Amino acid sequence: MRLEPRAATSLGVNLAWGAAAIAATLVFTSLLVLIAGASPFTVFYLVARGAAGSQFALLETLTRATPLIFTGLAVAVAFRARLWNIGAEAQLYIGAVMTVVLGTGAIQMPSAGLIPLIMMAAMLAGALLLLGPAVLKTRLGVDEVVTTLLLNFIIILFVSMLLEGPLKDPTGMGWPQSKRVIAEAQLPRLIKGKRLHYGFVLALVSAGIVWVIIKKTVLGYEMRAVGHNAEAARFAGIPVNMVLVKTALISGGLAALAGFSEVAGLKGNLTLDLSPGYGYTGIVVAMLAMLNPLGVVVAAIFVAGIFVGADAMSRSANVPSYIAQVMVATALLTMVTAMMLMRYRIRWRR
Amino acid sequence: MDAGSHRQAGTVLRLAGITKRFGTLTANDAISLSLAKSEVVALLGENGAGKTTLMNILFGHYTADEGTIEVFGKPLAAGDPHAALTAGIGMVHQHFTLADQMSVVENIVLGTVPLWRPGYDRNAARARITALAADYGLTVDPDRLVSDLSVGERQRVEILKALYRDARILILDEPTAVLTPMETAALFATLKKLVGAGLSVIFISHKLNEVMAVSDRVVVLRGGRVAGERPIGETSAHELAELMVGGELPTLGVAPSRPGAVLFELSSVSTPAMGGQGLDGVSLQLRGGEITGLAGISGNGQAALAALIAGTLQMTGGGIQVGGRRVSGWSPRTALENRIGRIPEDRHATGMIGDMSVAENVISEAYRSRRFSRFGLLDWAAATRFAASIIKAYDVKCPSPAARVRLLSGGNMQKLILGRALDGDPDVILASQPTRGLDVGAVAYVHARLVEARDRGAAILLISEDLDEIQVLSDRVVVMSRGRLSTASARGERSVMQLGQLMAGHGLAAGDADAA
């Protein structure tokens, strides 16, 4: 078996392989469901119903999708320029830290001023956190995969230290958690009495802005040029290192917004389980979206839906909700394979 | 030699009716080719004529849609890269496939020893290699590291590698492209010894005089088909050229130059190594209205010189003057600001971004100007118009400005690069291997545009490994060897052999380096 590049990609081929990827995902997870002793059809139905079968389910899915949109955008922006930011998790947490530092009473002002201020500070913190790896990469050639990945552990331990020390809530019965943000620092709920908050709107707006940056601006053009062929970009006079640094700032800022939005919109305080790996899942979301910022919204809702749906499903069917992780992982693998097959054709040896 | 007698000696390789299609493109269209014992067949054709596809099919990298291959009377399994090797066919690629950090012996033995055997008889291997080398005049020290060898020596190692594996049929892909005239002569002597010992050779080339010198029979490919087949005694270089092109040859009349002021000057510039060699105190003046040709064997510092002028390599010493002013902080952007148009050596790696569109590529040097962007927003309409104007002016075959550059042929890509580099009539033009890999039509086009730029007063540096190209275009020729430049000679002042001597590094006194 060998791969030959296709002369041109066609919509039909792309759709066919996309459909094949979804089918393969369903078939593979069906097998696991069968092993678990349940009917795949029932399980898939329950997942779909749990993700979008009611207003509650749908709002829950969108709520869960919100941080994934931010981290997905962060990864998509960075990967476009071939800056391998694996550290969205750390940037998310540093954004959350800034939110509780500024939002728990240190500054008193109306929401209209406080929320943008906190947002800016969170983005700045996330941006600066990725600046280090970006400068190490451009100046010394240090692999950013290693530095950003390892920074995740450093930052999470740092947050743990903060929650046991300076940021610890004195009224928290000894739990490692921060004080709650004041009312003026909270993002309002979209629908009264539901969990979905304005962070989701902010995520949609961010996706739109990132789309404009990538498609319409000089910086987006530079980022894509650097990502596709850094040597040619450098030859043409594009300041490759500066572009990578700017990309890092944007990417880090976007990931930090996930932390800001989770704390200010949903949780109200910072705990060590603020993110169940949203930074890493953001990589999955960005890849599923083929690094398209608008696709990130769709992919984030899809992935969130599977997680939310699987939680609901496991309550009624006797299948562990871990099936969601398997489904998402399988979907990623089949989609990445499908994306390659959209560009290459398989030749079987006779 | 008489071709007929060789056929009677027995056919060793027969390709019959080979057809290979890629989508709508037919790369090979019913190509038949036979090779007799002790025969040298030249496979002649422009780039894109189907030579490489045919050889890829022979070596199992592609599977032919139609047709059969027979080696020594037995059919060859299709699509199996090992089948050709085990059947006794050896190939010497244009780009060598040697491990730099291993010795000659190790490189040759590599892959012939089964994986499960922990060691090999080094002395026996060494003795066999020495014997083969002596038999065929392939002098090379078996114990040296490949990284220490010259290009000519590396090629000999590649040939020894094939012979060590008992190849009876040897395929040489553009073997002389990297050689000096003297090394080429030595290679031809080796080929004579090989066929004398009963081997057969397929010699792939587009250089007519070499084909005439070395082969018994010529098969000319054009547009994927056999355009003609001639015993060498019954044809001429002129006829072969016409078969290759499929009509009258385009001719380029170059009028005498009218040199103007010095527009660009390097004074004792040194650089770090690039492509194996850096610059070592190079001084060079480029005058307006003049094409300066820089000849040399690949890897002697041309890459470093081109990168330096393009702005991607920093110098460790010396200075650059543009239009008489010393420029500091040299970079791709300062080069562009100083009105230097640059045609890079490698279209795919450096010149174009394959996964971006034609429009995105042609604005890559000017996207920052008010012409293509305002307030950080790109003006895609202006970019598309610019791309369309280049497509029209340079006759680029491409569906639209939105087409991905990866899908274009090399010639069309080069036209886009020309259009981008020559936009705004630059004062100085760096043309590094501007016609490598292009077909004759595209070559003529590129040449004409360069001469046109010269005639309007631009100073042009033409870096090429093709001596013919240098001699046709250059008003002044300098030769680069081991990071140094020879003195300049006027058009026709030095013979090919004299230039070859300089290319090989002979007669290049230390003092000469500063005199250019």
Model confidence over B160-184: pLDDT tens digits? 998 998 889 999 988 887 777 778 8
The domain boundary residue, chosen from B216, B245, B274: B245
CB B198 within 8 A of CB B37: yes
pLDDT above 90: percentage of residues in chain B: 39
Whether A301 is covered by a domain: the verdict is: no
CB B31 within 8 A of CB B62: no
Residue B319 pLDDT exceeds 70: yes
Q: Is A345 on the interface with B (CB under 8 A)?
A: no
DSSP secondary structure letter of residue A14: H
Whether B54 is covered by a domain: the verdict is: yes
Average pLDDT, chain B: 86
* Chain A partners within 8 Å of B355 (Cβ): 228-229
How many residue pairs from chains A and B have C-beta atoms closer than 8 A?
82
B333, B351, B377 member nearest A237 (Cβ): B333
Residue B9 pLDDT exceeds 70: no
Q: Are residues B237 and B297 in the same domain?
A: no
Q: Is A349 on the interface with B (CB under 8 A)?
A: yes
Q: Are residues B495 and B407 in the same domain?
A: yes
DSSP of A131-191: HHHHHIIIII---HHHHHHHHHHHHHHHHHHHHHTTTB-TTSTT-SBBPPPPGGGSPPBSS
Domain that includes residue A250, residue range: 67-288
Model confidence over A261-293: pLDDT tens digits? 999 999 999 999 999 999 999 999 999 898 999
Model confidence over B431-463: pLDDT tens digits? 999 988 777 677 888 899 999 999 999 999 999
Residue type, A130: L
Whether B454 is covered by a domain: the verdict is: yes
Question: d(Cα B24, Cα B407) in Å, to the nearest integer?
Answer: 13
Question: d(Cα B455, Cα B462) in Å, to the nearest integer?
Answer: 15
Q: Is A224 close to B356, i.e. CB distance below 8 A?
A: yes
B351's tokens: 């010149």
Helix A198-216 to helix A218-228 angle (10° resolution) is: 70
Q: Are residues B96 and B184 in the same domain?
A: yes
DSSP of B55-119: HHHHTTSS--SEEEEEETTEEPPTT-HHHHHHTTEEEE-SS----TTSBHHHHHHTTTS-TT---
Model confidence over A292-341: pLDDT tens digits? 999 999 999 999 999 999 888 888 887 888 888 888 888 889 988 888 88
Whether A171 is covered by a domain: the verdict is: yes
Residue type, B36: A
Q: How far is CA A229 from the centre of its chain?
A: 25
Mean pLDDT across B106-127: 78
CB B288 within 8 A of CB B457: yes
Chain A residue nearest residue B379, CA to CA = A216
Question: d(Cα B481, Cα A215) in Å, to the nearest integer?
Answer: 46
Whether A344 is covered by a domain: the verdict is: no
**B7 falls in which pLDDT band (50, 70, 90)?**
very low
Q: Are residues B309 and B267 in the same domain?
A: yes
Model confidence over B192-212: pLDDT tens digits? 999 999 999 999 887 778 888
Whether B52 is covered by a domain: the verdict is: yes
Q: Is A1 on the interface with B (CB under 8 A)?
A: no
Q: Is A225 on the interface with B (CB under 8 A)?
A: yes
Mean pLDDT across A125-146: 95
Mean pLDDT across B394-408: 86
Pairing between β-strand B25-36 and β-strand B11-22 as defined by DSSP bridges: antiparallel
Q: Is A236 close to B79, i.e. CB distance below 8 A?
A: no
Q: How far is CA B289 from the centre of its chain?
A: 27
Q: Are residues B360 and B443 in the same domain?
A: yes
Q: How many domains does chain A have?
A: 1
DSSP of B246-301: TSSPP----PPP---SEEEEEEEEE---BTTB---SEEEEEETTEEEEEE--TTSS
Sign of CA dihedral A177, A183, A184, A187: positive
Model confidence over B470-506: pLDDT tens digits? 888 999 999 998 899 999 999 888 888 888 888 877 7
Phi, psi of B486 (to 5 degrees): -80, 175
Please report the pLDDT score of residue B516 as a whole number.
40
Model confidence over B366-382: pLDDT tens digits? 999 999 999 999 999 99
Of the candidates B464, B515, B509, B463, the one whose C-alpha atom is nearest the C-alpha of residue B489 is B515
Q: Which residue has the tokens 């609901």?
A: A312
Phi, psi of B420 (to 5 degrees): -70, -45
Of the candidates A152, A167, A207, A185, the one whose C-alpha atom is nearest the C-alpha of residue A267 is A185
Please report the pLDDT score of residue B361 as a whole number.
95
Of the candidates A86, A95, A159, A150, the one whose C-alpha atom is nearest the C-alpha of residue A127 is A95
B63, B332, B377 member nearest A350 (Cβ): B63
Q: Which of A217, A223, A235, A246 to mutate to test the interface with B (most CBs of B within 10 A)?
A: A235
Q: Which of A6, A209, A229, A231 to mutate to test the interface with B (most CBs of B within 10 A)?
A: A229
Whether A276 is covered by a domain: the verdict is: yes
ipTM of the complex: 0.85
Mean pLDDT across B291-297: 92
Residue B510 pLDDT exceeds 60: no
Whether A319 is covered by a domain: the verdict is: no
* Chain B partners within 8 Å of A7 (Cβ): 22-25, 407
DSSP of A292-342: -HHHHHHHHHHHHHHHHHHHHHHHHSSS-TTHHHHHHHHHHHHHHHHHHHH
Whether A24 is covered by a domain: the verdict is: no
B15's tokens: 């390709």
**B82 falls in which pLDDT band (50, 70, 90)?**
confident
**How many other β-carbons are positioned within 10 Å of the β-carbon of residue A20?**
14
Question: d(Cα B485, Cα B508) in Å, to the nearest integer?
Answer: 8
Please report the pLDDT score of residue A64 as a whole number.
95
Of the candidates A15, A74, A25, A19, the one whose C-alpha atom is nearest the C-alpha of residue A47 is A25
Q: How many domains does chain B have?
A: 2
Residue B3 pLDDT exceeds 80: no
Q: Which residues pair with B476 in a beta bridge?
A: B292, B490
Question: d(Cα B160, Cα B158) in Å, to the nearest integer?
Answer: 5
Q: Are residues B295 and B206 in the same domain?
A: no
Please report the pLDDT score of residue B332 as a whole number.
95
Please report the pLDDT score of residue A1 as a whole number.
64
Question: d(Cα A300, Cα A305) in Å, to the nearest integer?
Answer: 8
A2, A218, A224 member nearest B368 (Cβ): A218
Mean pLDDT across B77-89: 83
Q: Which residue has the tokens 């650097």?
A: A226
Mean pLDDT across B293-320: 91
The domain boundary residue, chosen from B192, B215, B245: B245
Mean pLDDT across A103-109: 90
Chain B: residues touching A (Cβ < 8 Å) = 22-25, 62-63, 78-80, 310-312, 331-333, 335-336, 342, 344, 349-356, 360, 364-365, 367-368, 373, 376-378, 380, 407
Residue B47 pLDDT exceeds 70: no
Q: Is B350 close to A232, i.e. CB distance below 8 A?
A: yes
DSSP of B458-511: -EEEEE-S-HHHHHHH-SEEEEEETTEE---EETTTS-HHHHHHHHTTTT--TT
DSSP of B223-261: TTEEEEEEEGGG--HHHHHHHHHTSSPP----PPP---S
Helices (H), B280-379: 302-310, 332-337, 358-362
Sign of CA dihedral A194, A198, A203, A208: positive
Average pLDDT, chain A: 91
Q: Is B353 close to A229, i.e. CB distance below 8 A?
A: yes
Of residues A224 and B516, the one with the higher pLDDT is A224
Pairing between β-strand B262-270 and β-strand B282-287 as defined by DSSP bridges: antiparallel
pLDDT above 70: percentage of residues in chain A: 97
**A259 falls in which pLDDT band (50, 70, 90)?**
very high
Q: How far is CA A154 from the centre of its chain?
A: 20
Query: What stretch of H or E contains B15?
Result: strand B11-22
Q: Are residues B352 and B204 in the same domain?
A: no
Please report the pLDDT score of residue A277 as a whole number.
92
Q: Are residues B233 and B288 in the same domain?
A: no
Question: d(Cα B471, Cα B448) in Å, to the nearest integer?
Answer: 15
Whether B311 is covered by a domain: the verdict is: yes
Question: d(Cα B436, Cα B466) in Å, to the nearest integer?
Answer: 9
Q: Are residues B318 and B456 in the same domain?
A: yes
**B250 falls in which pLDDT band (50, 70, 90)?**
low
Please report the pLDDT score of residue A294 as a whole number.
95
Q: Is A219 on the interface with B (CB under 8 A)?
A: yes
Q: Are residues B238 and B284 in the same domain?
A: no
Domain that includes residue B51, residue range: 3-245
Q: Are residues B42 and B74 in the same domain?
A: yes
Question: d(Cα B2, Cα B5) in Å, to the nearest integer?
Answer: 6
Mean pLDDT across B91-109: 85
Residue B513 pLDDT exceeds 90: no
Please report the pLDDT score of residue A90 as a whole number.
97
Please report the pLDDT score of residue A240 as a whole number.
95
**The CATH number of the domain where B431 resides is what?**
3.40.50.300
Whether A176 is covered by a domain: the verdict is: yes
Whether A283 is covered by a domain: the verdict is: yes
B231's tokens: 């015993």
Query: What stretch of H or E contains A44?
Result: helix A40-52
CB A303 within 8 A of CB A285: yes
Model confidence over A153-210: pLDDT tens digits? 999 999 999 999 898 888 878 888 999 999 999 999 998 889 999 999 999 999 999 9
Question: d(Cα B410, Cα B435) in Å, to the nearest integer?
Answer: 9
Q: Which of B312, B340, B353 to mutate to test the interface with A (most CBs of A within 10 A)?
A: B353
Q: How far is CA B292 from the centre of its chain?
A: 20
**How many other β-carbons are positioned within 10 Å of the β-carbon of residue A6?**
16
Question: d(Cα A108, Cα B317) in Å, to the nearest integer?
Answer: 60
**B511 falls in which pLDDT band (50, 70, 90)?**
very low
Q: Is A237 on the interface with B (CB under 8 A)?
A: yes
DSSP of B415-445: HHHHHHHHTT--SEEEEESTTTT--HHHHHH
Q: Are residues B273 and B207 in the same domain?
A: no
The domain boundary residue, chosen from B184, B219, B245: B245
Whether B58 is covered by a domain: the verdict is: yes
CB B217 within 8 A of CB B240: no
B94's tokens: 């244009």
Residue type, A278: Y
Please report, for residues A90, A150, A227, the alpha-carbon distance to residue A86 in angstroms, rounded to integers and kept in the order given.
9, 9, 16
Residue A119 pLDDT exceeds 80: yes
**How many other β-carbons are positioned within 10 Å of the β-carbon of residue B351?**
27
Chain B residue nearest residue A231, CA to CA = B350
Mean pLDDT across B391-419: 88
Of the candidates A278, A283, A248, the one whose C-alpha atom is nearest the C-alpha of residue A263 is A278
Q: Is A326 exposed, middle or buried (0-12, 13-18, 19+ CB in 10 A)?
A: middle
Of the candidates B230, B206, B207, the one whose C-alpha atom is nearest the C-alpha of residue B218 is B230
Mean pLDDT across B215-219: 93
Of residues B410 and B31, the one with the higher pLDDT is B31
Question: d(Cα A76, Cα B225) in Å, to the nearest integer?
Answer: 47
Question: d(Cα A235, Cα A232) in Å, to the nearest integer?
Answer: 5
Q: What is the dihedral of CA B335, B336, B341, B347, to 10 degrees?
A: 90
Mind telling me how many Å the CA of B50 is from chain A's nearest CA?
17
**How many other β-carbons are positioned within 10 Å of the β-carbon of residue B383?**
24
